[in-house]
């Protein structure tokens, strides 16, 4: 039984003992994080959502995340999956890449490169280029109760002295039928749709042997309302910067860990 409150302690050091570990699925490969910024009110967006899902099915090392934004709601349909923080993350990426404004559908890969979300050829090319990026697969261990979550990110490479650590709640599958607006009658098929995002703070990447502790309480009542069933943790070089570390795990795995 998952406790009502999860107190996450992110310990940036090597995990010792017999802690439950996640992240083995990508132990021999580098994950490629494909973030799609989309809207149910955007006429060009349904093919982009389907595309990123198909890419993930083709290659297990491609990890998509769907960020639904709300700036097209004025057209007559309020996006049912839009969350607070989605537009902010897109704006952070665009500022970091020196791009003007935001748009949908937009794909951002490993926080490093971007393109229009419907351009399959361009996306495949960028994914191929990013397979050699230094995105470390983080080992996540639970040593003791659910309250103690530790991250092993020794050896992370970053060009800045402080990296940003983000916790993302997401649902692995979702289908929504649009009742009005430009996409009336269409089905949106989501893979890894983001339902919540929390900043866990920063990590001093220039001191890999130094232990840093971050703690944040998260209410499971709110989480259950959002219907998330997985979490992911991303480490970026900076706000809106390149992704240099990643892991994900289902809430069932958390609840049923040894």
- Structural domains for the chain: 7-255 (3.40.30.10)
pLDDT of residue 6: 44
pLDDT of residue 61: 92
**Helix (H) or strand (E) segment spanning residue 68:** strand 62-68
User: Both tokens of residue 158?
Assistant: 């970053």
Which 3 state secondary structure label does DSSP give 91? helix
Cα distance between residue 167 and residue 216, in whole Å: 10
User: Both tokens of residue 157?
Assistant: 């490479």
User: Both tokens of residue 118?
Assistant: 């419907």
pLDDT of residue 57: 93
pLDDT of residue 152: 58
Q: Which residue has the tokens 């990590």?
A: 203
Q: Which residue has the tokens 């130094």?
A: 210
Contacts of 165 (CB under 8 A, 6+ apart): 10, 151, 199, 200, 201, 202, 203, 214, 233, 234, 235
Prediction pTM value? 0.86
For the chain, 258 residues long, give each residue's pLDDT as a single digit of tens.
444 344 444 444 333 334 455 554 434 468 999 999 999 999 999 999 999 999 999 999 999 999 999 999 999 899 999 998 999 999 999 999 999 889 999 999 999 999 999 999 999 999 999 988 878 887 666 554 545 556 655 556 666 667 888 889 999 999 999 999 999 999 888 999 999 988 877 776 655 544 444 444 455 555 555 788 898 989 898 999 999 889 898 878 877 766
pLDDT of residue 86: 95
CB-side exposure of 219: number of CA atoms within 13 Å?
A: 4
């Amino acid at each position: 039984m998952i406790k009502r409150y999860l107190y996450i302690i992110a310990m940036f050091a090597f995990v010792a003992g017999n802690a439950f570990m996640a992240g083995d699925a990508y132990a021999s490969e580098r994950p490629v994080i494909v973030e799609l910024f989309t809207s149910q009110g955007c006429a060009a967006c349904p093919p982009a959502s389907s595309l990123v899902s198909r890419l993930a099915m083709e290659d297990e090392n491609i990890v998509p995340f769907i960020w639904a934004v709300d700036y097209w709601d004025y057209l007559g349909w309020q996006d049912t999956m839009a969350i607070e923080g989605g537009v902010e993350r897109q704006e952070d990426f665009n500022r970091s890449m020196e791009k003007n404004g935001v748009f949908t559908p937009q794909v951002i890969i490993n926080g490093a490169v971007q393109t229009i979300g419907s351009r399959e050829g361009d996306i495949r090319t960028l994914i191929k280029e990013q397979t050699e990026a230094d995105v470390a697969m983080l080992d996540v261990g639970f040593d003791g109760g659910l309250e103690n979550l530790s991250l092993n990110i020794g050896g992370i490479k970053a060009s800045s002295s402080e990296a940003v650590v983000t916790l993302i709640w997401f649902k692995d599958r979702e289908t929504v039928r649009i009742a009005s607006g430009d996409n009336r009658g269409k089905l949106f098929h989501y893979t890894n749709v983001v339902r919540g995002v929390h900043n866990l703070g920063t990590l001093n990447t220039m001191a890999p042997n130094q232990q840093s502790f971050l703690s944040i309480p998260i209410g499971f009542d709110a989480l259950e309302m959002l219907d998330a069933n997985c979490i992911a943790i991303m480490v970026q070089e900076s706000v809106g910067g390149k992704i240099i570390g990643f892991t994900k795990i289902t809430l069932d795995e958390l609840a049923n860990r040894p």
